[in-house]
Structures are given as C-alpha cells and as structure tokens.
Structure 1
C-alpha cells in the first residue's frame, strides 16, 4: 500500500514538474501568434540563438514595470530597448500581445485598453511577433520576410549593430537616440543624438534644441571631427548617403564581440564592449571629451586647438571682436576680420589644414564643379562667400560658406581633418621682406605658388608668421617695385611692404 502511494506520488510529481517545464518552455521561444499573451510572471521571449531576451522588468530602484529587450548572454541585465518608456505599469498585472491586425500592445490586464501600442500603419492577415538574434523585435506576415513593424525603427538610448541613425528619405522616418530621463526612469530624456541631413550630413547632439556637439561631415573613413568613430579592432562603421537613405550604423568585427553605443542620461555618448573575463562593460571611447568639442566654444570665426593655451585663438587676418572679454577667456563673441572687404575689394585665400569643417548654418553645396580651382572660382564669383573646401572624399566635393564660420576645430600636424580656404582682404597677406637680390640669388629656387589667389597657412606652432615662399619677380611685382607708398613699417629684418 505504501509502495503504491509512493509510486503514485512520484508519478504525480513528475507530471507536475513536466507541466511547469512545458509551461515555461512555451515561452522559451522567439515568437508569439495573435491573441496569445505574455504575462508579467517571468515569461519571456528568447531569440533563436539565445542572444537576446524580451520580458517585463523594473529599472534600478523603481517598482514601475516595462517591456524591454536585453542581452541574454550577459549576467548583468542590460536593457537596450524599452517599449512603454513613457507609459509604465505600476504592478505586475501587465500582459504583452499582438492583435489580429498586427499591432503589438501592452495592457494593464487582459481585459483593459492598451497602455502602449506599436500603432503600425500597415495591417497584416497573419501577423507573428518575433524576437530575432540581432535584437530586433519584428512583426511579419506569416512566413514573409517583409516586416510590418520593427523595433529597430524606434531606437531609444542605445545603438547596437543594425540600429541606424539617420533618415529614410522615402518615408520620412527619422532614426535617432533619445536618452533616459535618469537611471531609474527610462522615459523621454533631455538629449538626442541624430543625423542632421542638411547639406553635409553629420551627427549632432542636442539638449532640447541647443546644439552641444557635432561630429563634422563624413569624409569616407570617419566623421571629420571625430576619429573615435572610425574603424578599430571591435568596430566597423557604415555610412550610407543615397537617394533613399542617409544613415550611420556599425557592425562588430567578429561574432564574439558584444558592443553598444549609449547616449546616457547626462548627455554623454559612450561606446562600450562587454569584457567576459572581467564580467563588466568596458568603455572603449567617449565621443565628446575634449574642451574643443563643445559646440561653438570659440565663437564666430574662432579656432579651437587642444594643443594651444588657451585653446581658442583668432586665425591670421582676424582679431577678437571684444578684446577685453577674449582676454578674460570669454570667447562667446568670437573673432572679426582685421580688414573688412566687399565686392570691389581684392581678396585672396588662406589655406588651413587638418580642421573639423565649419558648421552648415550658412553654406551652399555646388555639385557642378570638377576640381578645387573651379570650387575656388565659384567662391570668388559670389562676394558673400567667405570660405570654401573641396575634397573628393566628400559626397558633394565643393562646399562654400557665407557669414560667420562656426565651430572650427584644428587638430594639429599629427591629427586628421580637412582643408579650408578662408577668404581675406589681399592687404592682410603682408610680406615680411628682408630679401636682397644677393640673398635671393644664393638661396635655392623658391617654392612655386600655383595659384596667385592662394596663400598657405602652416598650422604648426613653429611657424606662426605664415610665410609662403615667392620668387623675386613675384615679390617685386606685388609691392609695385617696392614703392614707398606700399611700405608699412620697418623692423630688425628690414622693411615690411603690403601687397597691391
């Protein structure tokens, strides 16, 4: 009798165990069909390869409940996407389901109205909700590979491989990051990080409408103002700019790497990689760390260089607009031209190298030019043009600027960056001459100047006088045979003349 009871008890225990195992296994899958629900009782969706998991969660020090997606293979729960970020549940009565028409919904209980919905504009006859191994939560129509809706179209504060920042030019869909409000609150925060598609596309960080940082335009390898977004051992950036899309994304260099970009609640953009040995996220790069990355720190026409002290300076041909403020390290008003010019003035260009190009606030892209000289002529033909650049790696090639030049960073001789040709009054190109015929004859042949409208600025600290080399005939002609009326002074090295 006892043996029989023990046998029945053992069988019952097995059935109960099997029942709960099957119940749990029911949701240890990656799909949900219409009207099946996922409850807030530990049930989750797990992607087919076990890379990502979806379920209800509460942030640190919060009792609110949200639907989120996190990395399944990492013991430290790291949520990268949240559905109902601005509509939390206050208890564990919530359920997730997909409707017969393909809308993903979260309800306070099965009978209530939705607290969040995907609001898909496309309906489906046989919708299935599926969590992919990429971390993308999708709604598809039966076995079709066409997505009715996908979470990758609605990024939050985190960018993983496959998530885009940019614009679908056909639909107008804008993909961008938006920070959490705080560590405890995933609701819409103060900071956004998105592609500005106007003119030369670039990444821009804003607090509300205020610009805090911009990456500069893509140069074919990196964004021109940030080498931390170029290829490295764990990271392969991708930039697309065509008639359908403008977007930036990235891939991991191998399948074992787990990395992400995060716009945190303080507005800091970090690139992190999971270190399995240490069991923690390791910061690979912080996008905006240098003082010169603060937007428009040096004001209009001011240059910022981290190798200088102070970091802001007025380039040749410019002076501080408000000297007393500038000397007090208040650079807000920036720099103005030392000698103004107008449409009837003689002007020339000074070349600056290794720069983050000025912002796109007032500029024009010219797609018709074929080389740099044509680009320069396009600038000369418009008396409002103050600067230009030409680079084959830029999608547009020739860009000219009007008005003040905003947010220029100089990277120095060992850095990267692009060339900028700044237009100045010809009288600003002063030739410091102590040249004599005898000295000119015994020196080696001077460097030829290919373009008489252009002078080159040496960015190095070792040559702040910006002295190009000219042959004797050019010097003599430029000073009207060293006419007294063109003499502007005399120093230890001899007379100083201005160009006419």
Structure 2
C-alpha cells in the first residue's frame, strides 16, 4: 500500500502529464481527472467531469449530456462537495474510484467497492453509466457502477427498485433546489407493500402515486409504447422498473424536481428542446388524496371531486367552497348481515391506495367476493392481476383514498360494499318513469357502474 505522501505525488505528477483536457472514455489506474478534464462516452452522448452549479464555490464530479451540459444526470459527491477546484478523480491502489483534494489528500467520496482489485479501470459508457471493471474484462460483470446509485434522474437501462436478495433499494432524489444538488426532500421510489406502485413523497408525505401494478401496467399511469418501453421485473430476486428505448433517434429520461414533480422527458435526435411526455402532475387529480376519503376525482367533471355512490360529503359547507379534504361518509350505515349487503362494480379507475388492505394472489374474483362478504370490515375488493380474465384478491378495509377516474380504461374494476337499502333508494329515485329507467341504466353504463 502506498503512503499518503507518495500517492499525492503520484496524483500531482499524473495530472501534469495528462494534459489539460482528455476525450477518452476510460480512466486507467495511473490516470486522473482534474478540473477542465473530462471523460466522454464513445458516441459522445455523455461527459464526466468537475462542475460548480451556478458558480456556487462547491465542486462536484458529475455526468451530463454532451450537448446539454446544464442537464446533470448523475453526481458522485452530492453530499460532500469540494470547496475549491483543486479536486482530483482517481483510482486508488486498492481499485476504488475516489475524489480527493489534490493538495491535502482528503477523500471527499469513494465508490467503496471493497474488491481490493488493483487491475481496475473506470469507463463512461454510452448509456451514461460510469463503471469500474477489471482491465481485461469486457463483459458487464462490473465491480461497481453508477447506475446502482441514482441521483435525480433515471436513464434507459437504469433500474429503479429493489434487489430483494441484498435489500438494496434504488430510487431517485431531487436536488435541494435548482442550484444545490445535495439530496432534497422529494423522492420517487417503487414501493414494495402489497403490489408494487410508484410513490412520490415530500419527506414522509405522499404527494403522488401511480396506482398498483395490475400485471400489465401501473393502474394510474399512461403508456407511451411508441416512444419508449416500460420494463417491469418482479420475481424472487428483483423488483424493478426500467425504461427501454424504442427508437434510437429519441432520447428519454425520468427526472424528479425540487418543486415536487417527476417528469418523463424526450428529445428527438438533433432537437434542442425537451418534451414532457408524462408527469406526476398531468392534471389536478394527480394530487394525492385531493378529494378526501371515499370519493373519486374526475378530471373531466366540474367540480372534479364527487363522493362515491352511497356516500355524501362529511361537511357539505366545505364542499360548497371546493374544500374536499374532509371527504365523504356513508349515507346508509352498513350491516354485517350478508343479505343486507350488495357490491357496486366501478370501472375505469385507479385503485385506492394500499393503506389498510390484504392481498391473496391465488384467489379467484368469486372467492375474493365471498371473503369480503364474510368480513364486516371489508369495504371493497378487486383483482390484483387483470391478465387473462383476472386473478388475485385485493381487499380494502377502512376509508378508500385516492381513487381517480380513467374513462378509457374500463377493464380496471373495483367492487365496493354497499347497503342493499342504499341501492333501493337509487331505484326509488330513478325508476319513476320508463324514460327515467332507461336514463338511469344509461348513466350506470356510461360510468361503468353495475351491480355485483
């Protein structure tokens, strides 16, 4: 092991001999990167080097788009910036990447790969992934890779989610603000409670969720198959989401912002402006729990919040002024007697949040209904997987939170527990004339509501 003084001498000498700027994609074990020097990926899509956001006096090693240097997609030392430009990125004698102060030798960041393999090189791949690999190994058996440690951006090929074998959770975190890349309080991660769903949080507060995975997609998300692919893997070893590229002429990234939003952006090759293809804030209904408990948010309605069938506003005066936070309560109390209970089938919705729930992946829908009927606390049920006619059983207990209407997705159903007397009231109100009968049936069909 080299002494600190000899290592510093080696760093300074290597810096002088390496020239002011490099265009290679690989850093060898006897090389360094200092301010003004960069690595460039083989196709010149990405660049790595030192930067100081808005001349803040804080210095970081980052990766950015070669053509858009203002868009930083990864930062090594976002929690431990250098206070001047005298930093150096090097490979230590035991094979770790490290950011050091070239004058004092203080280590500000290390990859901590703990492999103790001196024959290591660092390479910036065309995907934007910075990897440590054995010098003669051209496989993807990397010693370390930046894709395992996301910053605020998800690039194609980067996994967002869990290595269930090791317990590693990869998620993205916003900058503290537009000029400070240290970790902010906005996170976007794949939640592993019941069926997976994406959760956007400010601290511990949920501000958006995608809806649970239903075997095909996340129940509240938009699919852009013609632009990019969504790869979802869920097995005993891994649970992760990944963006794939459909057209090599299109660049895409997913970024979480300090303002509290996450956006999927694309750029056509040769273009100069990014287009937002999807966002956590597509409309007001994406605001988590906007309408309160036991309600549904309908983007195309005015007002956008309505109580679920059989429920009324808990505070009508608040609802009159568009304050829906108190939510809705049942108009008719539920009985535990099974012959006093019916289920209302509501389609085309993002399923309620998984707060108080149970999941049985082997049950049929009929068995799920029977289980819900036997449990007085069960408020609703649904298939957990909609493939091949549906399977699995979700049951919700307590209030139903964050239901959103998607009229174009009628195959997504939830069955809500209702008092049989409540349904009789609907009949008494709407079936006064033959015309009103057909009007009522038509309304139920239009809103995907049927009795079960």
* Range of TM-score over shorter length: 0.7 to 0.9
C-alpha deviation, 1:416, in angstroms: 5.4
The one of 51, 70, 75 equivalent to 1:57 is: 51
Q: Does 1:261 align with 2:261?
A: no
**Cα 1:89–1:31, aligned 2, differ >3 Å: closer, same or farther?**
same
**Cα 1:459–1:57, aligned 2, differ >3 Å: closer, same or farther?**
farther
TM-score if structure 2 supplies the norm length? 0.86
Secondary structure (helix, strand or coil) at the match of 2:348 reads: strand
Secondary structure (helix, strand or coil) at the match of 1:55 reads: strand
Q: Does 1:87 align with 2:73?
A: no
Which residue is 2:149 aligned to?
154
Secondary structure (helix, strand or coil) at the match of 2:156 reads: coil
Q: Does 1:176 align with 2:162?
A: no
> Residues 193-272 of structure 1: matches in 2 within 5 Å?
193-227=188-222, 230-272=223-265
> For residues 89 and 348 of structure 2, what CA distance do their matches in structure 1 show?
53
> For residues 98 and 434 of structure 1, what CA distance do their matches in structure 2 show?
79
C-alpha deviation, 1:253, in angstroms: 1.1
Secondary structure (helix, strand or coil) at the match of 1:343 reads: coil
**Cα 1:125–1:112, aligned 2, differ >3 Å: closer, same or farther?**
closer
Tell me if the contact between 1:411 and 1:417 (Cα under 8 Å) persists in the aligned partners.
Answer: no
Secondary structure (helix, strand or coil) at the match of 1:140 reads: strand
C-alpha deviation, 1:76, in angstroms: 4.7
Tell me if the contact between 1:297 and 1:331 (Cα under 8 Å) persists in the aligned partners.
Answer: yes
C-alpha deviation, 1:77, in angstroms: 4.0
> For residues 56 and 468 of structure 1, what CA distance do their matches in structure 2 show?
63
C-alpha deviation, 1:220, in angstroms: 4.0
- Which consecutive unaligned segments of at least 5 residues does structure 1 have? 1-19, 445-454, 470-500
Deviates more, 1:386-395 or 1:300-309: 386-395
**Cα 1:391–1:93, aligned 2, differ >3 Å: closer, same or farther?**
closer
Tell me if the contact between 1:352 and 1:456 (Cα under 8 Å) persists in the aligned partners.
Answer: no
**Cα 1:25–1:309, aligned 2, differ >3 Å: closer, same or farther?**
same
Tell me if the contact between 1:159 and 1:260 (Cα under 8 Å) persists in the aligned partners.
Answer: yes
> For residues 220 and 450 of structure 2, what CA distance do their matches in structure 1 show?
27
Deviations 1:402-449 (A, max 9, x none): 11111111123x45561000001111111338689xx9xxx99xxxxx
Q: Does 1:405 align with 2:400?
A: yes
Q: Does 1:115 align with 2:108?
A: yes
- Which consecutive unaligned segments of at least 5 residues does structure 2 have? 1-14
Tell me if the contact between 1:351 and 1:457 (Cα under 8 Å) persists in the aligned partners.
Answer: no
The one of 335, 339, 342 equivalent to 1:348 is: 342
C-alpha deviation, 1:277, in angstroms: 4.7
> For residues 366 and 129 of structure 2, what CA distance do their matches in structure 1 show?
48
C-alpha deviation, 1:167, in angstroms: 0.9
C-alpha deviation, 1:189, in angstroms: 1.0
The one of 97, 103, 127 equivalent to 2:96 is: 103
TM-score if structure 1 supplies the norm length? 0.78
> For residues 416 and 372 of structure 2, what CA distance do their matches in structure 1 show?
10
**Cα 1:63–1:467, aligned 2, differ >3 Å: closer, same or farther?**
closer
Tell me if the contact between 1:299 and 1:406 (Cα under 8 Å) persists in the aligned partners.
Answer: yes
Q: Does 1:364 align with 2:350?
A: no
The one of 395, 416, 423 equivalent to 2:417 is: 423
C-alpha deviation, 1:159, in angstroms: 1.1
Secondary structure (helix, strand or coil) at the match of 1:379 reads: helix
**Cα 1:456–1:423, aligned 2, differ >3 Å: closer, same or farther?**
farther
Tell me if the contact between 1:365 and 1:396 (Cα under 8 Å) persists in the aligned partners.
Answer: no
Which residue is 1:130 aligned to?
123
Which residue is 1:68 aligned to?
62
> For residues 385 and 327 of structure 2, what CA distance do their matches in structure 1 show?
31
- RMSD over aligned Cα atoms: 2.9
> For residues 115 and 410 of structure 2, what CA distance do their matches in structure 1 show?
46
Tell me if the contact between 2:155 and 2:253 (Cα under 8 Å) persists in the aligned partners.
Answer: yes
Tell me if the contact between 1:60 and 1:183 (Cα under 8 Å) persists in the aligned partners.
Answer: no
> Residues 368-379 of structure 1: matches in 2 within 5 Å?
368-369=362-363, 371-379=364-372
> For residues 445 and 54 of structure 2, what CA distance do their matches in structure 1 show?
49
Tell me if the contact between 2:18 and 2:31 (Cα under 8 Å) persists in the aligned partners.
Answer: no
C-alpha deviation, 1:122, in angstroms: 3.8
The one of 324, 333, 342 equivalent to 2:326 is: 333
Which residue is 2:71 aligned to?
78
> For residues 395 and 185 of structure 2, what CA distance do their matches in structure 1 show?
33
> Residues 417-456 of structure 1: matches in 2 within 5 Å?
418-430=412-424, 431-432=427-428
The one of 418, 429, 446 equivalent to 1:460 is: 446
Secondary structure (helix, strand or coil) at the match of 1:400 reads: strand
Tell me if the contact between 1:225 and 1:356 (Cα under 8 Å) persists in the aligned partners.
Answer: yes
Tell me if the contact between 2:310 and 2:332 (Cα under 8 Å) persists in the aligned partners.
Answer: yes
> For residues 48 and 92 of structure 2, what CA distance do their matches in structure 1 show?
18
**Cα 1:419–1:243, aligned 2, differ >3 Å: closer, same or farther?**
same
Structure of greater Rg? 1
**Cα 1:294–1:417, aligned 2, differ >3 Å: closer, same or farther?**
farther
Which residue is 1:306 aligned to?
299
